Amino acid sequence: MLIFAVLFPMAAGALFPLFRFKEDKSRGLYVMAVVLITSAVALPQIILGTAAREILFQITETLPIAFRLDGVGRIFAGIVAVLWPLSSLYALEYMQHEKNLDAFFSFYTICFGVTLGIACASNLMTLYLFYELMTLITLPLVMHGGSQRSVRAGLKYLYYSIGGAALAFIGLVYVIYYGGTTEFAYGGVSVFTAGQTEHNMRIGYLICFFGFGVKAAVFPLHDWLPDASVAPTPVTALLHAVAVVKSGVFAIIRITWFTFAPALLAGTFAQYIPLALCVFTIVYGCTMALKEQNLKRRLAYSTVSNLSYILFGALLMTSQGLRGGLMHMVYHAVMKITLFLCAGVYLQKGVEYVQDMRGLHRAMPVATAVFALGSLAMTGIPPLLGFGSKWALAEAAVFEGGLLPVAGIVALVISATLTAFYLIIPSVSTYVSRGVKAYAPGELSSGWKALSPLLIISLVMMFFSFWPMLLTDFITYAAAGGL
């Protein structure tokens, strides 16, 4: 059934050109049907946890394309399966007045399957395959606008991603050569922890980290992400806040915890170099966000920073740290997608820059309220969502002790402060209408298809803020290796 969940949206998306939808309505029904069916098939398996491994085919004897859901995979797949339908609904409203919608939704749906493929990958080869496919499938989505800027942003994304994948490929070769198998196993493939090849394995890991680190936007490989915010908002929201960048982070979690063992890496340069880069990126992303006046680019830099929170947790090499990282992966996906969806609503009504957000509250009461909520959550104001993950990360780091973990905590704190500045201050400004022409109440409100996903996600956010145990128990279990 996993194979179905992965392949069905890919096939349905590929068949799009055959249909040539004349009306928006029929296209919308088709898209939603495909997405909902996939989620409906995937979610029971995610929630119940079928551990059976399904092989699609073998590329060579040692390289099968196979799928399996373990704890960590279920978390990522869960995020994707829940958020995609909401984002598709939003996209249907948002893209109403654009051209080439058949091509757009074709790739959008295929991407759903590809992302699930990454989440359900049972071994590094499968993950690598779908990782490369993701780059190719998201490329037309990024370039959808068709302007010079979009094309340039898309090509930049392409080159960075292919370059990253080339480095990740080197890591894949190391794994095949030294381990014989690319299957994921919690705690690392056991043969790596023994023997004289440890130094080589660490080098291989480091190269692999930089490879997957492109999509995870680790400094200095992050530069494609702010430019990619030129894509239509449903693309940026889902792909660059949830699917693409989370795939990068997920891949790094896989190689750190499920391939190259933490026992191999902890306490060596193979841990310190990535960890130091992540700590730097946490602060760097926030600083750049503060300087940025374009709202979507500001959010993109915020993503750069937050992704390194997740990596910081995973790279502490303790299961507590991994727990913190996974929590932030889930929470950040929810919070960031909310913020991007709001930014999209603003953009549609012509508000692109932060200084234009002043006084917007009267014109868009729902969107601005949701944006304010998301800002507070992202900053980490308790009891909202962001606090829980920051706390878990700090807790894990304090238990570790050591220079880099403590530096990481300081970076987290600085980042939280800066986040308040670049998110809360604009949110507050939407409520202050001095110096701006007064809007009529509700003048710029959007339709239900755009607003309902916003509200649903906000409710989800509030729910898990107050009852996080449902998620955190499972995440703790998964971080300790549970299936």
Partner 1 sequence: MSLVQNFPFFSIFLCIFGGVVTSVLNKKAARRVTLCISAIVFLMSATVWHYTLSATGSYSFMMGHFPAPFGNEIRIGRLEAVMATLFSFIMFMTLLSGLFNLDNHAQPQKQNLFFVMVDLSLAALLVMLYTNDLFTAYVFIEIMTIASCALIMVRQNGHTLVSATRYMIMNLLASGITLLGISMLYGITGHLLMPQLKQAVSVIHQRGLYSVPLTVVVLLLTVGLSIKSALFPFHSWAPDAYGNAPPVSAAILSGLVSKGYIFLLIKIFYRVIGMDVVRSQHILEVLFVFGIAGMLIGSVSAVRQRDIRRMVAYSSVAQIGYVFMGIGMGTAAGTAAALFHMVAHAAAKPVLFISSAALTDASGDHKRFHFLHGAGYRCKAAGVSFSITAMSMVGIPLTAGFISKVRLSLAGMVLPDAYRFAVLFTLAISTLLNAVYFLHTVVSVYRKASPEAQQAVPCPLHPMTLQSKVSLVILALLTLILGVLSGPVMQSIFAGLRSFS
Partner 2 sequence: MNGFLMVVALVLPVLAGLMVGFVPQIGLHRKTRSIFVGAALALQCLIVVLIALGGEKTVVILHLSENLPIALRSDTLGVIFSLIMTAMWTASAFFAFSYMTHEKNEKTYYAFFMMTLGVLMALCFAATLVTMYLFFEAVTLLSLELVLHERTKESIAASIKYLIYSVAGATMGLLGIFFLVPNTTSSYFVLGGSLNVEALTVAPSALLGVLFLTIVGFSTKAGMFPMHGWLPTAHPVAPSPASAVLSGVITKAGVICVIRVIYYSVGVEFLRGTWVQMALLTLATVTVFMGSMMALNESLLKKRLAFSSVSQVSYILCGLFLFDRTALTGALLHVIFHALIKDGLFLFAGAVIFKTGYTYVDQLKGLGRKMPVVFLCFTILSLGLIGIPPTGGFISKWYIAEGAIAGLSHFPVPVFTWLVPAILLISALLTAGYLLPVSITGFFSQPDEEASQAKLNEVCEPCRLMTVPLIILTLAVVFLGVFPNLMIDIFDSLAALLV
Q: Shortest gap between Cβ of 148 and partner 1 (angstroms)?
A: 11
Dihedral angle computed from the Cα positions of residues 453, 454, 459 and 460, in that order, rounded to the nearest 10 degrees: 60
> Binding segment for partner 1 among 35-43, 135-143, 292-300, 434-442 (CB under 8 A)?
135-143
CA angle 108, 8, 92 (to 5 degrees): 30
Q: Shortest gap between Cβ of 423 and partner 1 (angstroms)?
A: 35
466 binds partner 2 (CB under 8 A): yes
Length of the chain, in residues: 483
CA angle 374, 44, 119 (to 5 degrees): 65
Contact characters 3-32, partner 2, x per CB under 8 A: ------------------------------
Minimal CA–CA distance to 286: which of 378, 359, 354, 364?
378
Q: Which does 288 bind (CB under 5 to 8 A by kind): partner 2, partner 1, none?
A: none
Write out the two tokens for 331: 């929470």
* Cβ-proximal residues to 89 (8 Å cutoff; 6+ apart), any chain: 32, 449, 452, 453
DSSP-assigned letter for residue 439: P
CB pairs under 8 A, 24+ apart, for 90-93? 90/234, 90/237, 90/341, 90/344, 90/449, 90/450, 90/453, 90/454, 91/232, 91/234, 92/24, 92/27, 92/28, 92/31, 92/32, 92/449, 93/446, 93/447, 93/449, 93/450
159 binds partner 1 (CB under 8 A): yes
Q: Which does 350 bind (CB under 5 to 8 A by kind): partner 1, partner 2, none?
A: none
Query: Within positions 150 to 189, which residues make up the interface with partner 2, using CB under 8 A?
Result: none
DSSP-assigned letter for residue 355: G
3 binds partner 1 (CB under 8 A): no
**Which residue, 371 or 387, is less far from partner 2 as judged by CB?**
387
Minimal CA–CA distance to 209: which of 164, 158, 268, 163?
164
Query: Within positions 246 to 275, which residues make up the interface with partner 1, using CB under 8 A?
Result: none
Query: Within positions 137 to 156, which residues make up the interface with partner 1, using CB under 8 A?
Result: 139-140, 143, 146, 151, 154-155
- What kind and span of H or E run contains 54? strand 54-60
**Which residue, 206 or 237, is less far from partner 1 as judged by CB?**
206
Among 129, 141, 334, 412, binds partner 1 (CB under 8 A): 129
Q: How many CB atoms within 10 Å of residue 158?
A: 17
57 binds partner 1 (CB under 8 A): yes
| Cα-Cα-Cα-Cα dihedral sign, residues 46, 49, 50, 55 | positive
Q: Shortest gap between Cβ of 154 and partner 1 (angstroms)?
A: 7
Please give the size of the binding site for partner 2, defined by CB under 8 A: 34
d(CA 117, CA 112): 9
Query: Within positions 343 to 382, which residues make up the interface with partner 2, using CB under 8 A?
Result: 376, 379, 381-382
3-state secondary structure of 89: helix
Q: Shortest gap between Cβ of 204 and partner 1 (angstroms)?
A: 9
**Which residue, 89 or 409, is less far from partner 2 as judged by CB?**
409
**Which residue, 32 or 428, is less far from partner 2 as judged by CB?**
428
435 binds partner 1 (CB under 8 A): no
Contact characters 427-446, partner 2, x per CB under 8 A: -x---x-xx-----------
Among 7, 37, 158, 273, binds partner 1 (CB under 8 A): 158
365 binds partner 1 (CB under 8 A): no
> Binding segment for partner 1 among 159-167, 329-337, 348-356, 383-391 (CB under 8 A)?
159-167
Specify whether the CB–CB gap between 264 and 201 falls below 8 A. Answer: yes
Minimal CA–CA distance to 12: which of 105, 141, 137?
105
**Which residue, 98 or 473, is less far from partner 2 as judged by CB?**
473
Write out the two tokens for 49: 């946890």
Interface contacts to partner 1, rule CB under 8 A: 57-61, 63, 100, 125, 128-129, 132-133, 136, 139-140, 143, 146, 151, 154-155, 158-159, 162-163, 165-167, 169-170, 173-174, 176-177, 207
Binding site for partner 2 (CB under 8 A): 376, 379, 381-383, 387-388, 391-392, 394-395, 397-399, 401, 406, 409-410, 413-414, 416-417, 420-421, 424-425, 428, 432, 434-435, 466, 468-469, 472
